[in-house]
Amino acid sequence: QANGRRFYTLEDLTDIRAALNIHVGKAADEDAVIIANSNFKGGVGKSTITKHFADYLGLRGYKVLVVDCDPQASTTTMFDIKPETLMDTEQTLGDYLSPRSTFEDLRLAIYDTAWPTIKIIPSSLGLQDAEWDLTATLQEGGQAVRESLQRLRIGLSGLSKEFDVIILDPPPAMGFLGLNVMAAATGLLIPVPARQLDYLSTIHFMDTVADNIEILEKNGTPVDYGFIRIVCSAFSPGKPGEADMWKMMQATYANSLLTQPILASEEIKNATQAFRSIYESKPSASHATYQRCRTNLDEVFGEVVQLIRQQWPSTSMAGRSASIAA
């Protein structure tokens, strides 16, 4: 540039990492970590966190697949895909999940995004129909129910070697779509604002998660989460009651709570309204405000990345110790 500053595209960064033999993700023979960004209360920032976390990972060179399992399709829209444009295709997530459909190759439902390191399986208007079709298997019982609960898990197992991280954005309800997400996930991230109603709702949500794990296990679909973490979202320490609620969350959730909350920010709000993350938008206020917001998100997501890397033998502390001992 004329001012002497250099700018690099994400493709440039990918080439630089390859030239320097910098590999940030898993080993080729390892499986992706599948994270469900779950909470069935609306307004907790689920889709916003999904978008920002995917962009954070993609910027750092991780291969990411986002799977939008919510019929509201907020995450799909934030990745510049309009759900109504998928009406004429029969290769969608809804078609794959529906027991009535003959669509069997989930890979064909993957779409490119503006990020070369991020792919997406978008939501579509037919996803709600898939929920009804899955629920209808209750009448058949036995094997039919078991297969309906494992549809997403089976589909993602065929893609797991191709990505480092798969992020699931589930619906805000625990029907058959929600159970499919729980069955497919290997880790849970639960966003909770520091507000009393959200706090109480999350306690109920965690009880429901425990109940549904039992349902899955009784139907031959055991789950084994590498981690479950709660993230305090949209935290405003200056608002009445939120600082006290944050302390209560720390006391209640202890080691299951990420140490850093996501701070409420106009930067996130403005970027989301433009269907962007702050990782792909310019500052809407001062550069210092933007940088504070981005630093905060980097710290929060950095904690999650450490949890992710502990799931891969090639990058975990246990794996390194075993390698050194050998």
Asked whether the beta carbons of 117 and 58 are under 8 A apart, the reply is: yes
Give residue 29's Cα distance to chain centre.
22
Residue carrying structure tokens 């940088």: 291
Q: What pLDDT sits at residue 322?
A: 54
What is the C-alpha separation between 220 and 141, in angstroms, rounded? Answer: 12
Q: What is the mean pLDDT of each run of 10 residues along the chain (326 residues)?
A: 68 80 90 91 81 96 96 93 88 92 93 96 89 85 85 95 96 85 94 86 83 87 92 90 92 91 93 91 85 96 97 82 53
Residue carrying structure tokens 């939501």: 123
Q: For 262, what's the count of Cα atoms within 13 Å in the CB-facing half-sphere? A: 30
pTM beyond 0.75? yes
| Strands of the 64-68 sheet, one edge to the other | 111-112, 118-121, 64-68, 165-169, 33-37, 187-193, 227-233
What is the C-alpha separation between 199 and 1, in angstroms, rounded? Answer: 49
What does the buried/exposed string (b/e) look like for 134-162 if buried means 16 or more CB atoms within 10 Å of the residue's CB? beebeeeeeeebebbbbbbbebbeebbee
Q: What pLDDT sits at residue 143?
A: 86
Three-class secondary structure of residue 314 per DSSP: coil
